[in-house]
Amino acid sequence: MHETVRQPALQSPDRPDPFFAFVAGLYVALLVAPALVAAMAVALPADPSVLYLSFLAALTVVTAVSTVAIGRLHGLPQRLGASRLVWMLAVVPIVAAATYFVSLHLVGGVGIAGLFLSLVGFVVGVGLVAMSRTRYVRAAVDTDTVRVEWKAGWPQPLRTRLQVGAAALYFGGMALLFGGEFVGLGSYGWLGAVAFVPGGAAMGWGQPQRYRLSAIGIDRSNHIHRRLYEWDAFESFSVTDDAVILRRSGPRPAFRCWREEIDDEAELLDALDDHLPRA
């Protein structure tokens, strides 16, 4: 019998910890402060020194007020981490950056500062996504129900091919992006950026991650991020010559765990049999 357990609502969640509240407050300030100063620059043109001081004041005040306000919202990190819309925290700064870019002719230097701070906000937003999901997993998963823990990555041959391809994209793209001008390929520098960014991102794919199988699903974590996948996010699992494969619902990529890195494969397969059909 395959058991599916839905996570109940969290009861009496705590207030956000001070670090989360500060990072969230900074995120709000990075988005709100430039907009306030840009509006002031359009309505009341002022000297650059005044605008600079206004930026500093707005960033400080909005960060402080937002940190205090967010620190009083019980369960905010857990609710964000449980939501599929949490990635909007990273999308909103990109929209803001695009808005500043197309309005540079109206706000001038303030728009450049807003564009830069929005990109910083994107980085902070990605960090908030990771922090929210990690805190949600900590609150949602009862450690007493964790049945199996293991650490594994993709099968080594597949992992090696991926790493070689990603490294070629990364270093080749970086060389073209930053060195193309010196060898007469400056006009193709944009191709280097196209290869450089995904190459760098792909270098982390397939590396070993920690897994925990519990009553409500499987949570997966690395050094900075933890995420919970409930059982209805999976269709089935299978075992090949070199990997245990957890197939996810829809077009999402499967989890592939190299069998040689799993400490107790028999216990893992027994636990999976209780929750998922074997393909």
Region 65-71 average pLDDT? 96
pLDDT tens digits, one per residue of 243-271: 999 999 888 889 999 999 999 999 999 99
| Of residues 271, 273, 236, the one with CA closest to residue 255 | 236
3-class secondary-structure state, position 58: helix
Q: How far is it, in rounded angstroms, from Cα 119 to Cα 113? A: 10
Amino acid, res. 13: P
Domain limits, the chain = 18-140, 148-273
What φ, ψ does residue 217 adopt, rounded to 5°?
155, -155
Contact 279, 247 (CB under 8 A): yes
Contact 63, 124 (CB under 8 A): no
Contact 243, 258 (CB under 8 A): yes
pTM: 0.78
Both tokens of 47, joined, read: 């000297």
Q: How far is CA 275 from CA 56, 218, 270, in A?
A: 54, 11, 9
Task: Report the pLDDT value the prediction gives residue 63, as an integer from 0 to 100.
Answer: 96
Three-class DSSP labels, 5-40: CCCCCCCCCCCCCHHHHHHHHHHHHHHHHHHHHHHH
Burial (CB count <10 Å: 0-12, 13-18, 19+), residue 116: middle
What one-character DSSP code corresponds to residue 250? Answer: T
What φ, ψ does residue 264 adopt, rounded to 5°?
-130, 85
Contact 192, 176 (CB under 8 A): yes
Query: pLDDT confidence of 191, banded at 50, 70, 90?
Result: confident
Quick count: other Cβ atoms within 10 Å of Cβ 191? 15
Bigger pLDDT: 143 vs 240: 240
pLDDT tens digits, one per residue of 77-121: 999 998 989 999 999 999 999 988 888 877 777 888 888 999 999
Both tokens of 51, joined, read: 């605008």
Task: Report the pLDDT value the prediction gives residue 186, as an integer from 0 to 100.
Answer: 64
Amino acid, res. 272: L
Please compute, for residue 208, the number of CA atoms within 13 A of its CA located in the half-sphere on the CB side: 11
Q: How far is it, in rounded angstroms, from Cα 24 to Cα 124? A: 8
Of 145-149, 221-225, 237-241, where does mean pLDDT reach its minimum? 221-225
